[in-house]
Amino acid sequence: MTEPKITDSHCHLDFPDFDGQLPEILSRAAEAGVHRMVTICTKLKNEPHVRALAEAHPQVFYAAGTHPMSVADEPMATVEELVALAQHEKFVAIGETGLDYHYTADSAEVQKQSLRIHIQAAQETGLPLVIHARAADDDMAQILTEGFRARPYSCVMHCFSSSAELAKAALDLGFYLSMSGIAAFPKSQELRDIFAAAPLDRILVETDSPYLAPPPHRGKRNEPAFTAHTARRGAEVFGLDYADFAALTEQNFERLFAKVAAYRAAA
């Protein structure tokens, strides 16, 4: 029996953890039912390499932006630069961008500037924004809401593990919440409750690999195949059969990442 199809909506296949192992990684993903993935470029200087990964593998799509923890050390992205990258047929989202005050609060002002640039690029391209948020809930909600009121855009709160208040702010704007391995950790009941209260048509699944492997692989290197473990936990959270939950997350992914659905249709 074949596994239900799901998509890893956020991974980092260009990271050194995967060097020389991509064929096996993609093969294990396919066996687990993970038939597509979006690999995220976190520094624009690495975009050519990440683009090449997407071009070389039919199941791999990509996004690019400047990660908030890198903003202080990288050249500031421009809207024009991001819009130009978005012309590639497999470039399907803007980011990841966002705010991280847990490790890098000293660069908060530069992070905010970068976030606003990425929001504008999402507005101009119509592509979804991929948000990283940690220890910055109030500023995050404020900037996302201000931008949306000025000109609507779509967005996913990747690896969501923030407060119920930020979840509500994002959902009120029509945004999506993505479940990572954190949602499957035994001590994450409060986070699972936040997801359980969210609309089913706004849920995605991801690995954020090589980080945050879900049980039974916790503490080891994560990889796209493990999306299935998080999705099975997600199905339990919503009281659904795994195949039904997988199908719903696929519909959600294709609604948000419309360029992936269009690419598949064209193929």
Q: Is 118 annotated as a binding residue?
A: no
How far apart, in Å, are the Cα atoms of 11 and each of 151, 176, 237? 28, 17, 23
Strand partners, 233: none
Name the one residue in this structure whose structure tokens are 């201000």: 146
Q: Is 49 annotated as a binding residue?
A: no
User: What CA dihedral angle connects 256, 143, 205 and 249, to 10 degrees?
Assistant: -30
Q: Is 217 annotated as a binding residue?
A: no
Q: What is the DSSP letter of 193?
A: H
Between CA 259 and CA 38 the distance in angstroms is: 12
Between CA 7 and CA 254 the distance in angstroms is: 10
> 204: alpha, beta or left, given left = phi > 0 and alpha = psi -120 to 50?
beta
Q: Is 67 annotated as a binding residue?
A: no
Q: Which residues are annotated as a binding site for a divalent metal cation?
A: 10, 12, 96, 132, 158, 208
Q: Which residues are annotated as a binding site?
A: 10, 12, 96, 132, 158, 208
